[in-house]
Homo-oligomer: A and B are copies of this chain.
Amino acid sequence: MSRSPHPRRRATLASLASELNVSRTTISNAYNRPDQLSTELRDRILQAAKRLGYPGPDPVARSLRTRKAGAVGLVIAEPLTYSFSDPAALEFVAGLAQTCEEAGQGLLLVAAGPGRSLADGASSVLSAGVDGFVVYAAAGDDPYLKAVLDRRLPTVVIDQPREVPGASWIGIDDYAAMRELAEHVLGLGHREIAVLTMRLGDRDGEVALVDEDRLRASTFHTQADRIAGVRDAMAAAGLDPAGLTLVEALRQGPTAGGAAAELALRSNPRLTALLCTADALALSAMDYLRGHGIYVPGQMTVTGFDGVPEALRRGLTTVAQPTVAKGRRAGELLHHPPRSGEPVIETLPVELIRGRTSGPPAG
């Protein structure tokens, strides 16, 4: 391609300038303000750049000078391996990525792996060259979230936790959504129901029954709010919320919902409805039930939450979240911040999907 060998030392804007006997400003202008110099000179510069293997202004140096990185950082509390197998998270990322693409910005996936000590864990966040952060569904005490806030960059929190000072928030009304879903189920006549929830905080094991203390100590507000919605719907229907069977799936994975369903049914064999706080849980529970000859919805009503494609395809009764829109709004907030400069709190609408997995209880 290039005839002359490349110099060992990388070409820089300065070296190009001295080579051509023009000032550094002029080279800079050739790239950033083409209208500030003659076409002729500019062509000469670009040609020389090609000859010398100068790839254009160094992005890092430019960032330092302009105080703009041209990218937003995305922090997901879970290991990326999980996130990439979570359809809801994926849709969110897709929405965010769309706006980044439109804005010509990069999207930096920040490593937030298992090394979750404050010292080490936060380092990746601290060293990310970005103009703003999106934090996806973090626990209230997440060290990465803390590290992000310390950076004092524009930040958008998704779902979780609520009310982070200085940060914008985008999410849904988890309480109302789940309450409406519960009312639908109770309206069908169910009286013995269980909630299968995602994990409420750190704890070992696979699945576990949840007691009052555990629930109160939850660092995941979304989950707690959804449970509260169910309880209040029960109370409003004249049932004792204390009678709710509550099981927590501590690990992700394709069998989590099944294991949770099994524990719930063992704990209360008279259950006729399993309300799951995630579609993934519900789909897994359905697989388990089918494997054990329990017919849905004839013998058991199952509901989900999120409205991921597979759930809709399989006719799951669920609450559809505007997952892609969440991602888009987060991106827009960062790319085009509101004039006021104030953090924004946005509650997005959801839709109750009455699918084929809910029906009146047997008998």
Interface residues of A (CB under 8 A from B): 1, 10, 53, 55-56, 58-64, 69-71, 73, 79-81, 84-85, 90-91, 93-94, 97-98, 100-113, 115, 123-124, 126-129, 150-152, 165
Contacts and interface: CB of A to CB of B under 8 A. Distances in A.
A126 B111 CA distance: 23
A129 B69 contact: yes
Nearest to A91: B84
The 3 A-B pairs with the shortest beta carbon distances in the complex, nearest first, are A84-B94, A80-B97, A107-B109
B59 A128 contact: yes
Contacts of A150: 55-56
Copies in the complex: 2
Contact of A111 (B55, B58, B104): B104
The binding surface of chain A is classed by DSSP as mixed
A168 B108 CA distance: 23
Contacts of A104: 111, 113, 115, 123-124
A60 B70 contact: no
A59 B73 CA distance: 13
A13 B109 CA distance: 27
A105 B112 CA distance: 10
A73 B73 CA distance: 13
B106 A124 contact: yes
A69 B69 CA distance: 12
Contact of A60 (B69, B91, B93, B111): B69
Contacts of A73: 106
